Structure 1
Amino acid sequence: MDWFSLGKRRSKFGKFLDQNNITQQDIVKKSGVSRGTISRLCQPEHEEGPTMKNARKIIKAIKDITGKNIDYDDFWM
C-alpha cells in the first residue's frame, strides 16, 4: 500500500487505484480528465460517479493501464 493512501477514507474507485498501484496522476495523464475530478472521485462522499463522458475516458484509461475488464458499475451506481 502506498503511503499517501494510509488512513484516508476512499471510494470504490480510490480503493481500486490504491490496490492496483495506480496513481491519480496516471489516470489524469492517460484519460485527459482533470486532476480535480479524479481527486474528487477518490473521496467516499462522491461515489455517485462522473459524467458519462468522463467515465468512458476513465474506464478506457484503467483498461489500458491494467488490462482488466472493468465497467462503470464496478465503481459507481
Structure 2
Amino acid sequence: MVGGWKKPRSRFGRWLDQQGIEQVEFSKLSGVSRNTISTLCNDKEYIPSPKVMKKILDTVRQIEPGKKMDDFFDI
C-alpha cells in the first residue's frame, strides 16, 4: 500500500484476490492480455468485448463453475 491508501478493485479484481490468483496467472490461463486483466481488475466501469468476456467466463468457471458474467459486470 502506497501512501496509506489502496486503489479500489472491481468485483472481478476482488474475486481474483479472494481466490489467491495473480493477474499474470489468470492472463495465461484465459489467453487474455495482462493489460486487459489489469483493466478488468481496477476499472469498475470497464466492460470487455463479448469475445474477451467469453474467455474470462470460461476460465472463471474452471475455478468456480456457478459464476455468471453479471457477478462481475453490470451488463
TM-score (norm 2): 0.81
Q: How many residues align?
A: 71
Task: Give the distance between the partners of 2:16 and 2:64, measured in 1 at CA.
Answer: 14
How far apart are 1:8 and its partner, in Å?
Answer: 3.0
Candidates 68, 71, 75, aligned match of 1:71: 68
The aligned residue for residue 21 of structure 1 is 20
Moved over 2 A (4+): 45-48
- Structure 1, gaps ≥5 residues long: none
Aligned-pair identity in percent equals: 41
1:15 maps to amino acid: R
- Structure 2, gaps ≥5 residues long: none
The aligned residue for residue 47 of structure 1 is 45
Task: Give the distance between the partners of 2:58 and 2:66, measured in 1 at CA.
Answer: 10
RMSD: 1.9
CA deviations on 1:28-72 (whole Å, 9 max, x unpaired) are: 1111111100000111x34342111101101111111x2331111
Task: Give the distance between the partners of 1:70 and 1:14, measured in 2 at CA.
Answer: 14
Task: Give the distance between the partners of 1:10 and 1:67, measured in 2 at CA.
Answer: 20
TM-score (norm 1): 0.79
Task: Give the distance between the partners of 1:39 and 1:9, measured in 2 at CA.
Answer: 12
